[in-house]
Structure 1
């Protein structure tokens, strides 16, 4: 409870920043200072990553990103005041963060070389995925959101036809879930999954991956909301570039790791252990092999 109150107080304190005239307020490419240290517009853009197209939403997102950046700077300063940055654990955290950053930069570098998608590819993609574009569907569902589930339980779910049966299965296996209503947009689904979902009718059950869990939904109604023209072309191009980029990055990184295996030497105590071979069982009394 104390943590929640502290965070709330911090949020209120940050929200109050900037009210009234501040004679020390920075200008130009410096968006804020924290204890005399500058936060630049470039840092804020990196924190924000992408902004909504709506101007009001974009302004709200920028404000939230700046508050988060300021909060992190203040918390880091406090950690340093307590000399936590001098601990061996801090050195390991710092090294891991640097490695993760370098891998992300490598991914971005590889993705920057992805060939552009041609207009013909975009047209073919739109025409071959009607469930995403010309026959795009908004599907109302009653759903069970399962944050974490064993794949064995998912397998047992496959032959079930009704939500009460699935609920009973989850309860019997002590699997937690939250019941809610939602609208699925086939535009937001993997195009191949969208095609399958679009073919389903009212009262049919579908299950979609949801992080380490699953989203189980019963269709209650569906309506077609076509996506056509320039908007369909734009989204198709974006989807194709994302697919192409992800494939190229994955393949390139797998090749890099494979090529570097000759430089890797692992302590025998940490080598992957082979599964023990099954020992032959003695014949039962009175029987011969």
Structure 2
């Protein structure tokens, strides 16, 4: 849950510069003050102990920019968010410290020009604050669902043979040209053609610019209905698909079995099931909050068409839901997936693209807390 929600955050927590430890009565021995500082610093840095920066005194300032200190805690935060491997931490620490210095310089100059008081900037800051607090609440409420059981992983594997045990791969050749070039005459020529070369010759005579592509897709990459249609086609058959501003004239060169074993698929299935469970729990929490809240739509045109008060809208724009869902295009474009064609990087459940359960999930979290995924 944490990584899913955190990767789309556009702001990060800011370390407070006000510490109750800084106002200590003079009667308290200095040794006790130092001990308290050490304990507090260790507690704050504890979550980052797997990715330590080079040893320094806890809380020690690493640099000063016009009197403003940059501390080891700030650097720890940057290191954690960057996910720096252990072997690169020394080099990364130097680079990230320079980045923090640059950020401080820019922030100081922005404050001099009162950019921090610009209404758009203030609105962005308030949005970031709202998202951070909402994220923290959801993390506390939902927590970590843990790894799915072996039985759950095996059950998903068995229920989706098109992703795994019975996965098939299609090797295809394509001509790619502007969709505006698709005329009744071109369609007729493609229907009569026995190969892509004949259509290419036709395009040459009409001076239609086109490109060539070789793509490999599997039954785990494509919409189920499209995969079924491709499986029913004979080798060499041509078919035309339009994706936005371009058209793809495709010929199936080969279809081969490309099964994936449970042992290979298990890690990806586990990650997928954990993510889906987190989304379900988040959706349930949003539903609970909506059910107990009084929500009035002052602009009735924006009110959802729902039978129950407080219910989620029946649908939401993709930019809000963030759900992978089914691909917007056919999935046949040369760059529409990262499949390498070798059968080891495109195993299902491929980013939720063809799972009916994922399509049914309305992603209530993303509606109520936009951007937290």
TM-score by length of 1: 0.50
TM-score by length of 2: 0.41
